[in-house]
């Protein structure tokens, strides 16, 4: 059963050995500070791994003719994403030529496409992320539906939150919040204990997903001869046969 934010705060305060009603010099109660610890913990977990429950799809985003740049969440022509952490994939849906847009780095984009308006408008096939925007190329010549997969950040917990956006991870979030608490209070010996516990619970949660997103990539075989160049025999501990001093008796 998922814990409410208030229940998790109590558990965190108990582990820290402090009263929820304790007041800091600033006037903030420990209850409020524990809520910060929980939200910092959520951010720490989300930075490490994109769990299934926070992976979402937007099927209603759309391009605008002659517009190449689109804010992710808010602003003119925004894509309507909610708390986006990153973009996993973008599909352009069209009855004639649906395609998956290829993600490129901004450096590559600027090197190969110095001025996007030099090209005629057409169906986009490339995109980059720059800040909280994506930019597509070519610039679209029509309104095309975009099918976007993306991982989210968890919404902040409040004192009235009934549960976290994370599913079946209350123990993990509480442990990470306790770690954040001990780091905050500079109690580093206790922080070491809770770091190990948090990492263990985090690894358990990742393994429970069952389908880690990765693909092996083989590297090409190198036929280059090892060792140093013949022009630097004093650096060659292997007495390379191309070395001019090879076989020379000291």
Question: pLDDT tens digits for 46-57?
Answer: 999 999 999 999
Question: Is the pLDDT assigned to residue 228 strictly greater than 80?
Answer: no
Cα 38 to the chain's mean position, in Å? 19
pLDDT score for 238:
54
What are the distances in angstroms from CA 232 to CA 223, 242, 249?
21, 11, 17
| Complete edge-to-edge strand list for the sheet that includes strand 145-151 | 55-62, 145-151, 89-93, 99-100
pLDDT score for 241:
52
Can you tell me the mean pLDDT for 24-52? 93
Nearest to 139 by CA among 61, 60, 65: 65
Paired tokens of 214: 């990765």
Question: Is the pLDDT assigned to residue 186 strictly greater than 70?
Answer: yes
Angle, helix 170-184 to helix 5-16, in steps of 10 degrees: 50
């Amino acid at each position: 059963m998922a814990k409410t934010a208030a229940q998790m705060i109590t558990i965190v305060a108990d582990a820290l050995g402090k009263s929820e009603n304790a007041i800091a010099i600033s006037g903030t109660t420990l209850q409020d500070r524990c809520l910060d610890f929980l939200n910092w913990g959520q951010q720490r977990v989300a930075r490490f791994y994109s769990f299934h429950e926070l992976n979402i799809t937007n099927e209603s985003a759309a391009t605008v003719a002659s517009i190449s740049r689109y804010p992710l969440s808010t602003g003119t022509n925004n894509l309507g994403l909610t708390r986006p952490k990153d973009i996993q994939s973008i599909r352009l849906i069209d009855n004639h030529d649906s395609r998956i847009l290829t993600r490129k780095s901004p450096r590559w984009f600027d090197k190969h496409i110095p001025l996007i308006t030099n090209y005629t408008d057409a169906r986009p096939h490339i995109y980059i992320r720059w800040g909280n925007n994506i930019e597509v190329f070519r610039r679209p010549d029509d309104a095309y539906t975009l099918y976007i997969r993306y991982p989210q950040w968890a919404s902040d917990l409040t004192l009235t939150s009934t549960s976290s956006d994370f599913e079946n991870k209350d123990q993990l979030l509480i442990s990470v919040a306790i770690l954040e608490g001990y780091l905050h209070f500079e109690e580093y010996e206790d922080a070491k204990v809770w770091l190990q516990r948090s990492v263990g619970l985090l690894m358990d949660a990742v393994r429970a997903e069952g389908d880690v997103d990765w693909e092996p990539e083989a590297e090409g075989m190198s036929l280059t001869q090892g060792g140093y160049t013949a022009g630097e025999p004093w650096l060659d501990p292997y007495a390379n046969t191309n070395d001019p001093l090879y076989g020379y008796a000291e």
